[in-house]
Structure 1
Amino acid sequence: MEILDEVELCFPQFLNASCKKPMRTHFEIILSYITLSSITLITTTLNLLVIISIAHFKQLHSPSNLLLLSLAVSDFFVGLLMFFQIILIDGCWFLGDIMCTLYYVLDYIISSASVGTMVLISVDRYVAICDPMHYSTKVTEKRVQVCVCLCWICSIVFQMLLLSDNLTQPGRYNSCSGECVVVSSYIAGFVDLVVSFIIPVTVIIVLYVKVFVVAMSQARAMRSHTAPVTLQGSVKVTAKKSEMKAARTLGVVVVVFLICLCPYFCVALTDNLLNPSSDAFVMCLYYFNACLNPLIYAFFYPWFRKCLKLFVTLQILQPGSSEMSIL
């Protein structure tokens, strides 16, 4: 297995103005194509199933599931953006400067919206576990819808402001034909790091630590409860168990999200001091998170498995299927 000896140009007709393709083996290129294509297909398909399931079945229209819907939408778009990564495998960008800038802007917007949604999920679980008596009045579908919309709107406005120079003059920072880069000032990059990563991650960790402490104390209280319980009391215990199970499931989603996203932002913090191979691994890990979330739902949420069965058997196409019992 030998690396290609000849230096290839992205645009041979431009000679010195063209970027050079990175030196890679045919095996590396083929493996990259297969891996990224598989992840893209799985990511878009599974997240689309989550989106359709929550949107279609009325029984799934709850505040918590609306947050999962927002996360699935961002993950679905991540899967679509991976098509651009497949195009970039050979190191050349052939879609023009405008599409390059649009790709990065969408990437940053989706990343910010995902982090914001994770914060909302943490707040939702915090209220559900730490203040269950007022959860139904504090966390309503209307309020969650407003919060999700604000999360996406703020992400769009914030990232467009940070990348305004690139939007007004696409490709201004490209050093050769076939390159796709966007550059923000040091201050803009620092603000993005603080607003899109440090503050949200701190909030998520603090809230989930509190949720974990309260959940553990509630679990010990339920285990030590030996007196006979009434029907109403048993319903309350069952509700608490259901809320803690949901918190545990969403906790797994949050932890996996942080594991996949932290290296991505750490690269930004170190000002991209990694070699190309490590940088590619960090990017793949970031994109792979969008594929993991639906798999986590499949393992932990019976309703998602039931929805998958309804999709496979085409029962979802039957009249009145939106009224089916899923939970």
Structure 2
Amino acid sequence: MSSGWAGGPEPRGTAQKGERFFPPPRTGSIPLAAQSAMPMSHRLPVLLQVTEEPDGSRADRSIMAHPISAFQAAYISIEVLIALVSVPGNILVIWAVKMNQALRDATFCFIVSLAVADVAVGALVIPLAIIINIGPQTEFYTCLMVACPVLILTESSILALLAIAVDRYLRVKIPVRYKSMVTPRRAAVAIACCWIVSFLVGLTPLFGWNNLNKMQRTQEPNSSHAGFVITCQFETVISMEYMVYFNFFVWVLPPLLLMLLIYLEVFNLIRKQLNKKVSSSSNDPQKYYGKELKIAKSLALVLFLFALSWLPLHVLNCITLFCPSCRTPPILTYIAIFLTHGNSAMNPIVYAFRIKKFRTAFLQIWNQYFCCKSSKNATSTTTAETGT
């Protein structure tokens, strides 16, 4: 915050009786790079409501007094637009799998898990990101709970993509034994394990790996418990050591590299099978492996878009940790954030254009529930399409 408010005279004629203007508490927080781009004219002080308690003591209750700047308004508008595309799109994916019997195998169950995470990004993470961007005054652990959901959902998406990659590998490696090995029950257990691990990884900051000790060391000696009311920003509460060493180097980068190797092996196996025309459970090996190749390419595209969307933000985190003196242009931070959130809206588009079963199911939903045609005609038409 502006140093002009530190120790400056109290403004006159601006506070009513029982109210005082104070600068936000000094908490030693690390400002988010994008937040630092906001002009000082938009960083107003916090209005503290001073009330008398029954025992005669005085209590200060902070009231956020931040007007939204034009830049913030543009940021919020883009985030809302992403949410409006992501939530309906991924709900449509879940709906398609539920109503179409042809989308009931293990791969599409993992896709549903990925879609659930993407719906939560649009419905939960984006609103929380907007709140953090505004910078409300909250207690430390309240801000920490606002920051953790994105970590949970990111890890859930990565593990769902890893499960999808392993599933595609098994389909081309052991096509005869695949159905006996990958049962719906085992797929459900795998999905549950992915979500449990995601919660453990994403909630690690709540277990103690956060910036609380660092903030305590920067507190003034005579500061009271009220000093832990902070301007809520992601980097204020989340440790960069956790984000880089644990989140990125352990739970993001290795799974991405493993998935890359898996898909390379999948394409290699499919190419060999197509060349040798090895017999399989299908009556037509060329048709079986040709279909597997198309689906594998589509899911590999989903993985590529995920990596393209998330790696820039993790690279910026590495720069923040390893080069504290380096200044990252705020616009790059905003672009990286938009990419991570926008990734949740990309997958339904990929499914619609690249996977025929999804495209058929989407058309069936549209014709049956949204199109102006009669339900009978729409149902018969889409049923015929599904049969072909």
Which band: TM-score by shorter chain? 0.7 to 0.9
Structure 1 contact 163–184 (Cα < 8 Å) conserved: no
Q: CA deviation at 1:241?
A: 1.5
Alpha-carbon distance in structure 1 between the residues aligned to 2:100 and 2:42: 55
1:63-142 equivalent positions in 2, closer than 5 A: 63-80=106-123, 81-89=125-133, 91-93=134-136, 97=140, 99-142=142-185
> How much does 1:75 deviate?
0.8
Q: Give the letter for the 2:256 counterpart.
A: V
8 Å contact from structure 1 (residues 67, 121) kept in 2: yes
1:141 deviation in Å? Answer: 1.6
CA contact (8 A) 1:33 1:86 kept: yes
| Residue 192 of structure 1 pairs with residue 247 of structure 2 | yes
Deviations 1:57-111 (A, max 9, x none): 333211110010011011111112112223344x422676555322221111111
User: Which stretch shifts more, 177-186 or 30-39?
Assistant: 177-186
TM-score by length of 2: 0.69
**Could you tell me whether the CA contact under 8 Å between 1:44 and 1:79 is conserved in 2?**
yes
CA shift for structure 1 position 50: 0.8
Q: Give RMSD over aligned pairs.
A: 3.8
3-state SS of paired residue (1:313) = helix
The structure number with the bigger radius of gyration is 2
Give aligned-pair identity as a percent: 20
Q: Does 1:278 align with 2:332?
A: yes
Contact kept? 2:148, 2:202, Cα under 8 Å: yes
State the Cα distance separating 1:194 from its structure 2 match. 2.7
> What's the TM-score, normalizing by structure 1?
0.80
- AA partner of residue 159 (structure 1): G
Alignment partner for residue 301 of structure 1, among 335, 355, 360? 355
The alpha carbon displacement at 1:160 in A equals 2.1
The structure that is strand-richer by fraction is 2
**Structure 1 residue 293: Cα displacement:** 0.6
CA contact (8 A) 1:261 1:285 kept: yes
CA deviations 1:222-265 (Å, max 9, x no partner) are 6xx9xxx9xx9753322221111111111111111111121222
Q: Does 1:311 align with 2:373?
A: no
- Report how far residue 186 of structure 1 moved: 3.1
Question: Do the aligned partners of 1:71 and 1:117 also contact (CA within 8 Å) in 2?
Answer: yes
Summarize the Cα distance change of 1:116–1:13 in structure 2 as closer, same or farther, 3 Å threshold.
same
Counterpart of 2:292 in structure 1 is: 243
Cα distance in 2, alignment partners of residues 99 and 56 from structure 1: 40
Contact in 1 for aligned 2:44/2:65 (Cα 8 Å): yes
Q: Could you list the per-position Cα deviations for residues 289-312 of structure 1 after superposition, in whole angstroms to 9, with x for gaps in the alignment? A: 111111101111223233333333
Q: Assess, with a 3 A threshold, how the Cα gap between structure 1 residues 20 and 303 changes in structure 2: closer, same or farther.
A: same
Alignment of 1:287 with 2:341, yes or no, is yes
Task: Select the residue among 316, 320, 329 that pairs with 1:267.
Answer: 316
Give yes or no for contact 2:144–2:205 (8 Å, CA) kept in 1.
Answer: no
Contact 1:10 1:18 survives alignment (8 Å): no
Instruction: Give the equivalent residue in structure 1 for 2:232.
Output: 179
Q: Report if aligned partners of 1:37, 1:86 keep a CA contact under 8 Å in 2.
A: no
| Matched AA of 1:197 | V
8 Å contact 1:105–1:159 — kept in the other structure? yes
Matched with 1:9 is 44
Report the CA distance shift for 1:32/1:306 in structure 2 as closer, same or farther (over 3 A): same
8 A contact 1:129–1:214 mirrored in 2: yes
Matched residues in 2 for 1:95 and 1:58: separation?
A: 48
Name which of structure 1's ranges 127-136 and 205-214 shifts more when overlaid on structure 2: 127-136
Letter in 2 for 1:252: L
Say which is worse superposed, 179-188 or 49-58, in terms of deviation: 179-188
* Structure 1 position 151, deviation (Å): 0.6
Does 2:94 match 1:51? yes
Q: Residue 272 of structure 2 corresponds to which residue in structure 1?
A: 217
Please list the CA deviations of residues 253-298 of structure 1 after superposition, one character each: whole Å capped at 9, or x if unmatched: 1111111121222223333553332122111111111111111011
CA–CA separation in structure 2 for the residues paired with 1:290 and 1:258: 12
1:70–1:275 distance in 2 versus 1, CA, 3 Å: same
1:11–1:187: structure 2 CA closer, same or farther, 3 Å change rule? closer
Instruction: Tell me if structure 2 keeps the 8 A contact 1:18–1:176.
Output: no
Q: Distance in 2 between matches of 1:8 and 1:167?
A: 26
- The answer to which of 34-43 and 93-102 deviates more is 93-102
Q: Kindly tell me: are residues 85 and 196 of structure 1, through their superposed partners in 2, closer, same or farther at Cα, counting changes over 3 Å? A: same
